[in-house]
Amino acid sequence: MTKIGIIGGTGYTGVELIRLLSRHPMAELVVITSRSEAGKRVSDIFPSLRGVCDLAFTIPDPDSFKSCDVVFSATPNGIAMTMARELLEAGVRLIDLAADFRIKDIDVWEQWYGMKHACPELVPDAVYGLPEINRDEIRKAKLVANPGCYPTAVTLGFMPLIKSGAVDVTDLIADAKSGISGAGRGANVGTLLAEAGDSFKAYGVGGHRHHPEISQNLARLCGTEVGLTFTPHLVPMIRGIHATLYAALRDAKNTDAQALFESSYKDEAFVDVLGPGSHPETRSVRGSNICRVAVHQSGNRIIVLSVIDNLVKGAAGQAIQNMNLMCGHDEKTGLDVVPLAP
């Protein structure tokens, strides 16, 4: 059994980790921390976990994690990096669901996240945890930077086109929408029902933290800098991300985008390429680790539709997918969850 610890178990990604790990046949949850709820039983805070998780929250203490094989950090940005060095020195493998280790350029990271990085020496060795790109590196990793939700949907949507050289990478457009849970569980006026319900808006148009992460991913795929316009939106639903992606084909007459996507993802358990003319819906992936994509070709313009559950493939599910790879388990273990419907 793989002994598991979770730093920060009271947020949405934390409770998703507990939900999914509780049914993982090779995982044993041994410690879950929370400063705000220390001493309280997990199932008292989240009744959905009654009879599933009998642990109580504890105060975060690096020593309590040293018996773990893998620790997930489901905390806000800037927390994991303060504990990473000590955990790694103790032989614990760390998967950070925040952004502390995603961006390789420390100056860029500090500019976007507004703080000094606590352990920049660890960043070069951190593996970006998108299995569809970095599967072999993840298997050997001690420190994994779990991707952001928007970057997951956008990168998987663009990847076949960019890797094949089929599109002009100087003018890529990502128009993405997220459910409110993407903002986290903390109280915020902008995510109140009376504020966000019956409404739809763009945000971060002048610059969003996921922009440099997406650009880094796409640049790695093609070996050169990319031109990306990324605009996120908030929609009045709880879960889900829908990314509509646009690019110009270099040779439209000789490009079969549908065949390209199908061949690129034919062996991927968690990427589902829909048939020609399809329109994936966020509800079709709710609660699952699946990314569903559809591709539309119109003249020299290509349009890709990519949907994920932001809390699963966009966070906790992908983190468990990474854990499976790191620990030698089958990649799909514990993640064979059928999406919820309706």
Q: Which active-site residues does the annotation give? A: 149
Tokens of 136: 């072999």
Q: Sheet harboring 228-234: ordered strands across?
A: 201-202, 228-234, 172-178, 241-248, 301-308, 291-298, 271-273
Between CA 211 and CA 204 the distance in angstroms is 10
- Separation CA 106–CA 104 (nearest Å): 6
- Burial (0-12, 13-18, 19+ Cβ within 10 Å), 266: exposed
**In degrees rounded to 5, what are phi and psi of residue 203?**
-150, 165
- Closest residue by Cα to residue 323 from 95, 30, 67, 80: 95
Pairing of strands 70-73, 2-7: parallel
In sequence order, what DSSP letters do the residues of 174-243 get, joined into one string? EEEEE-GGGG-SS--GGGSHHHHTT--EE--TT--THHHHHHHHHHHHHTS---EEEEEEE-SSSS-EEE
Q: How far is the C-alpha of 316 from the C-alpha of 140, rounded, in Å?
A: 20
Starting at the earlier edge strand, list the strands of the sheet with 27-33.
Answer: 27-33, 2-7, 70-73, 93-96, 143-145, 127-128
18 in Cβ contact with 31 (< 8 Å): no
